[in-house]
Amino acid sequence: MPEQDLCGRCGQPLKSHERISVANVGLRCYRCFNEETAAMMSVDFDNTPLQPVTVADADDVEHTFEFRSMLVPTGHALYARERVPEGQEGYEFSVLGDFDANPWDLFRLLYDRIQHGLAVRHVERGELGWRITDARHLVGRITSDPDRAGEIPLLVIDGRPFTWDQVGRLLMSFEGFTLRAFVDDSIEVIGGPLLKEERKA
Ligand SMILES: [Zn+2]
């Protein structure tokens, strides 16, 4: 394995979604990054690693999620990422709490988000391929399409990637209708400086 794929502090091998490149320092795993950042910011950060969990979706298909904690300038972020083969897209959920948030409290809220997220279907298979469900409500995480040099979005709907072309096809069964779209933050803010600012406003 080439040297750049190892954490520069603990030497652990890193997959692409597991590494953080720290300016002028080098690559870090999340655990080392958090410990170093907590020490630098003089905050008490609970770095308890969380075990992967499996959650069934509306069709009883099981999805396994891996968790990672990250100390960011706006608090303690907890990310859940579906375990999918390297380079593939799946479900992702995240919550942002206060710096000294109890990871179990964050986990419970995130787990709730995962369960709710997996219980909803925005698209379903019809006779002519994928279609938007009768709720006519399409929600997807915007990511970039690696086959289009990152210039065109790939939309992850119900944990499944749809190319921009496929999204267009989904909409074509509603020709003549109106599309109302809004773009929302992926992370749910439940504590920390961002929430305090929101409450002040
Ligand atoms: Zn490390």
Q: How far is the CA of 88 from the centre of ligand 1 (A)?
A: 24
Q: pLDDT grade, residue 201 (50/70/90)?
A: low
Residue 3 has pLDDT above 90, yes or no: no
Query: Which pLDDT score is estimated for 64?
Result: 92
Q: How far is the CA of 148 from the centre of ligand 1 (A)?
A: 33
Please indicate whether residue 30 or residue 182 has the higher confidence score (pLDDT): 182
Query: Which pLDDT score is estimated for 193?
Result: 80
Query: Which pLDDT score is estimated for 1?
Result: 42
Of 97-111, 124-138, 164-178, the range with the lowest mean pLDDT is 97-111
Q: What is the DSSP string of the chain?
A: --GGGB-TTT--B--GGG-EEETTTEEE-HHHHHHHHHHHHT-----PPPPPEEEE-TTS-EEEEEEEEEEETTEEEEEEEE---TT----EEEEEE-TT--HHHHHHHHHHHHHHHHH--SEEEETTEEEE-TT-----EEEE-GGGTTSSEEEEETTEEEEHHHHHHHHHTTTTS--------SEEE-SSHHHHHHHH-
Neighbours of ion ligand 1 (CB under 5 A): 7, 9-10, 29, 32
Q: How far is the CA of 89 from the centre of ligand 1 (A)?
A: 25
Q: How far is the CA of 51 from the centre of ligand 1 (A)?
A: 18
Residue 109 has pLDDT above 90, yes or no: yes
Q: Mean pLDDT: which of 22-26, 31-35, 165-169, 188-192 is highest?
A: 165-169
Query: Which pLDDT score is estimated for 4?
Result: 55
Mean pLDDT of 131-138: 95
Q: How do residues 78-106 score in pLDDT, each as one tens digit?
A: 999 999 998 899 999 999 999 888 888 89
Q: How far is the CA of 153 from the centre of ligand 1 (A)?
A: 32
Q: How far is the CA of 100 from the centre of ligand 1 (A)?
A: 21
Q: pLDDT grade, residue 16 (50/70/90)?
A: confident
Residue 176 has pLDDT above 90, yes or no: yes
Please indicate whether residue 102 or residue 12 has the higher confidence score (pLDDT): 12
